[in-house]
A and B are shown apart, each in its own frame.
Chain A
Amino acid sequence: MEYEDRFLILGEQLNRWDGRRRQAEAMLWIPRALLAGLSVAVIIAIFMRLFPLVDNRTFLLLTCLLAITSLVACLLISFMSRRTLLTQARYADEQLDLFERASTAVEINAGKVTAIPSITLLQLNDTLMAIASADGERVIPLRWHWREVALLLLVVVLLIAAGLAPNSQSDILEQQAAVSQSIEVQIEALEEIEQAINQSELLNQGLQEQLQAPILKAIEALQHEDLNREQAVAVLSEAEADLRELSDRLNNNAIEQSLREAGRPLLDNPSGRQLGEAIANSDLFGAGEAANNLADSIPTLIEEERTALAQDLAQTAAALQEVAPDLAAELSGAARALQSGDIETAQEALRKAVATLQQRAQEQAAANMAASTATQLDEGSQQVARAGQTDEAAGQGDGQDSAGSSPRQGAGDGNSMGQGAEMDPTSEQGQAPGGPGFGGGPAESVYVPGRFELDAAEGIDVELPAECAGDPDGCGALVNESAVEFGDEKSLVPYQQVFADYRDTAFEALEGDYIPLGMKEYVRDYFTSLEP
């Protein structure tokens, strides 16, 4: 057999021994790698019981992931790490007591060491004989290190126990997740509203921007990752307040009421009936269109018709004088022009009135939209406030806002003329579930801060007025009529006196403390409802 063939045999032998070495190393390092990976899981298990990091299910999943990662890394390092033939030879020399035979043979073959052919062949044969007689079972045993395996099993059992045992931090996590999800829902809802406003044909650009400004601001604020429940509620409440303020500013309800009265004179006028009907129906857009048609038809009217129209327009203008002086002035100008036979001036005045009516109509639509959006935001903030809370906790609400009083109205332009498209198809009345409230009857779940558990012993003794001691009924409702808990009948306190103290303190807190805007109304309503 030639030298090359013999060297190939040596290479195969070295590969075989290297394979056995890798197996032995894997059996040594697999428990260690798993212990290393699972020790990270142990740290997580400790921290997850101190801080709201992960829930039990995620923890178990994470533990499995760590174990698999450790195992795969160990196997990859054990079996995939590249070793040169010389490295294998040196290992074989060391483990099989080959006295550097294998490494010398490999180096001779690689030309790293020079040797004469006769010695080269002798050296290779000697190496092959030595490696063939090596006892692999003795020098590289394939065995598990049971002490480490036992430790690993112990850690696994502990981790499973940690993953299955109840964890109080999980509730916090669930609440946080629910809040985050709720915030996400609100962001989506706000984006839909913003798009609807953007696409609304009833609003001009200025009004659209005014409506979008608080919504965009709220979306931006809600998109902060570390937003908590209270902050989210505050953001939504602030946006709601801005929109309500905008709604109040743009609201033309007073004009609508006046228009209903002011349109009546025109109803009997054949020329102005269309305008009169639209005005009477508070249809500002329709009124504008009718006014425009009327302006076009003036030249076709005969003298008597113009006179009658002028009188009716003058009456209508007079009716609008207080609530819409500009519109009244324009209608009055048209009436005067008609009376004087100045058709062009009358047409021009009516077209100015058309513009005014359309402007008012848009403002009204914007006001309605702002109001409905504010309502949606109000409901959204309540949803965020309730997110993740159990029914029992939610039932601590005061019950003031009953199921029937939580409107989830359509958020279209909401004008009475039915021209607006509803932005929220679920325009049914609020049906949020609520536990039994303090005020009796169904109560809506609301977010409330943690309650102070006041011990009776910590209460302040109140000295009753003398007349109350003799006639408790005359002092109004009493906090504790039986007074059994206090053990002293003289500790009866007049309800009015107690209520005033509590109400004042609450209102002071409303002014000075940080209470979400959306919640202030609840507090105020609550104390108002308790007022004797």
Chain B
Amino acid sequence: MENNVDISVDEFRKTAVKIEQEVGRVIVGQEAVVRHVLVGILSGGHILMEGVPGLGKTMLIRTLGQALELEFSRIQFTPDMMPADITGTDIMEDVGDGRRAFRFQTGPVFANLVLADEINRATPKTQSALLEAMQEGTVTVANHTYDLPSPFFVMATQNPLEMEGTYPLPEAQLDRFLFKVEVPFPSTEELTEILARTTGGEQPVAGTAADGQMIASMQKVARKVPIASHVSDYVSRLIVATHPGDSPAPLVNKYVRYGASPRGGQALILGSKITALLAGRYNVSFDDVVAVAPAALRHRLLLNFEGQAAGIRADEVVVNLIDHTDRNE
């Protein structure tokens, strides 16, 4: 039985490092954000990025598109946007000899890397147009199903401050994002560097570090990383513990209305495997799980009224959850 993958683990690590380096040429700081986005992409998942405007979210994703040599598409979500504006629509055109026929005009979703900018500004109807695309990798218009290009990633952003006139993503759609990455404000040094880079005469450009095929191969390698039974048990316990009631974490019992779905567990394990490989290991450790836990779980914990009223952040609950869940049981 030959289970060898197309690329070696060493190639995986080198490529990943190269991607990070290329992105780093454009994006100043934000190493953790870049790492999470990279982990998300290599896991084959979609990423929701949250941060105030101007932190480089769009630039990060655009740079990733350049570094990965992927077809990039940006959709600026607005309240008047319709689903067809995303997926595309049938248009009637003259085919000659006096006849007319419908032709499917693909929407911006037909790209390898889709930036759904300020996704929470669109109506739920429009947001849900992305559901099928994100989960199935297909788009259905007028009873015709069209395959999206592979690899397909949706990078959505949302602004946590301006909530007026927005439509918060429903739980079902949130759950389809592998990670939710919070983009922090840069430090003083980083900001100085950003200002220097963006106001100078020459704009840095990211070089190509990988292509779609390499990304697909890397995804395959990542899935082969073994995980010990007690570590996967720990992941299961973590997911179960996100549900209030018998959770060992007091904050979960007090402030969480509903916990993570099994997709949360998948996100934890896939993210952990890539984190392990990036750390130079060939197995998943508890620390890998803990490293991706906030990104994988924060958007899957639905806080109750008390939690929202008390201003509890999902990250606090995740930390509390990790602190109170035994690694060995």
Contacts and interface: CB of A to CB of B under 8 A. Distances in A.
B283 A100 contact: yes
Contact of A119 (B226, B229, B279, B288): B226
Question: Most chain-B Cβ atoms within 10 A of its Cβ — which of A101, A114, A119, A122?
Answer: A119
A115 interface: yes
A116 B227 contact: no
Interface in B231-286: 231, 276, 279-286
Contacts of A100: 228, 230-231, 283-286
A265 to B, nearest CB: 112
Contacts of A112: 229
Interface residues of A, dominant DSSP = helix
Contacts of B90: none
A516 B4 CA distance: 100
B281 A119 contact: no
Contacts of B287: 99
A481 interface: no
B84 to A, nearest CB: 44
B218 to A, nearest CB: 14
Interface stretch (A102-110, A241-249, A335-343, A487-495): A102-110
Given A90-B328, A101-B283, A116 B228 contact: no
B227 to A, nearest CB: 7
B33 interface: no
A230 interface: no
A123 B282 contact: yes
A147 B319 CA distance: 36
A117 B230 contact: no
B228 A99 contact: no
Contacts of A101: 281, 283, 285
Nearest to B226: A115
B225 interface: yes
A126 interface: yes
Contacts of A108: 226
Given A100-B228, A104-B227, A104-B228, A122 B5 contact: no
Interface in B114-148: none
Contacts of B282: 119, 122-123, 126
Contacts of B231: 100, 104
Contacts of B284: 100, 104
Contacts of A104: 226-228, 231, 283-284
Contacts of A126: 280-283
B8 interface: yes
A302 interface: no
Contacts of A107: 226, 228-229
Contact of B4 (A99, A105, A113, A118): A118
A99 B285 contact: yes
A108 B229 CA distance: 10
Question: Most chain-B Cβ atoms within 10 A of its Cβ — which of A104, A115, A116?
Answer: A104
B268 to A, nearest CB: 15
B188 interface: no
Contacts of A103: 228, 230
Contacts of B225: 115, 119
A116 B4 contact: yes
Nearest to B276: A99
Contacts of A118: 3-5, 8-9
B3 A117 contact: yes
A118 B8 CA distance: 9
B224 interface: yes
A114 B226 contact: yes
Contacts of B3: 116-118
Contacts of A119: 9, 224-226, 282
A134 to B, nearest CB: 15
Contact of A116 (B224, B279, B283): B224
Contacts of A99: 276, 279, 281, 283, 285-288
A469 to B, nearest CB: 97
Interface in B3-50: 3-5, 8-9
Contacts of B286: 99-100
A113 B284 CA distance: 12
Contacts of B227: 104, 113
A115 B224 contact: yes
Contacts of A117: 3-4
Nearest to A106: B228
Contacts of A116: 3-5, 224
A43 to B, nearest CB: 36
Contacts of B4: 116-118
Contacts of A115: 224-226
Contacts of B228: 100, 103-104, 107, 113
Contacts of A123: 226, 281-283
Interface in A70-102: 90, 99-101
A119 B280 CA distance: 12
Nearest to A110: B229
Interface string B198-217: 00000000000000000000
A330 to B, nearest CB: 103
Contacts of B229: 107, 112-113
A104 B285 CA distance: 9
A122 B224 CA distance: 12
Nearest to B232: A113
B292 to A, nearest CB: 14
A6 to B, nearest CB: 14
Nearest to A107: B228
B9 A122 contact: yes
Nearest to B288: A99
A123 B281 CA distance: 7
Contact of B230 (A90, A105, A114, A122): A90
Nearest to B282: A123
Question: Most chain-A Cβ atoms within 10 A of its Cβ — which of B5, B229, B279, B283?
Answer: B283
B5 to A, nearest CB: 7
9 closest A-B pairs by beta carbon, nearest first, are A99-B285, A116-B3, A123-B282, A104-B283, A115-B226, A104-B228, A100-B285, A103-B228, A113-B226
24 contacts: A90-B230, A99-B288, A100-B228, A100-B230, A101-B281, A101-B283, A104-B227, A104-B283, A105-B283, A107-B226, A112-B229, A113-B228, A113-B229, A114-B226, A117-B3, A117-B4, A118-B3, A118-B8, A119-B9, A119-B224, A120-B226, A123-B226, A123-B283, A126-B281
Given A99-B286, A100-B286, A116-B4, 13 more contacts: A90-B230, A99-B285, A99-B287, A100-B230, A104-B226, A104-B231, A113-B226, A114-B226, A115-B226, A118-B5, A118-B9, A122-B9, A123-B226
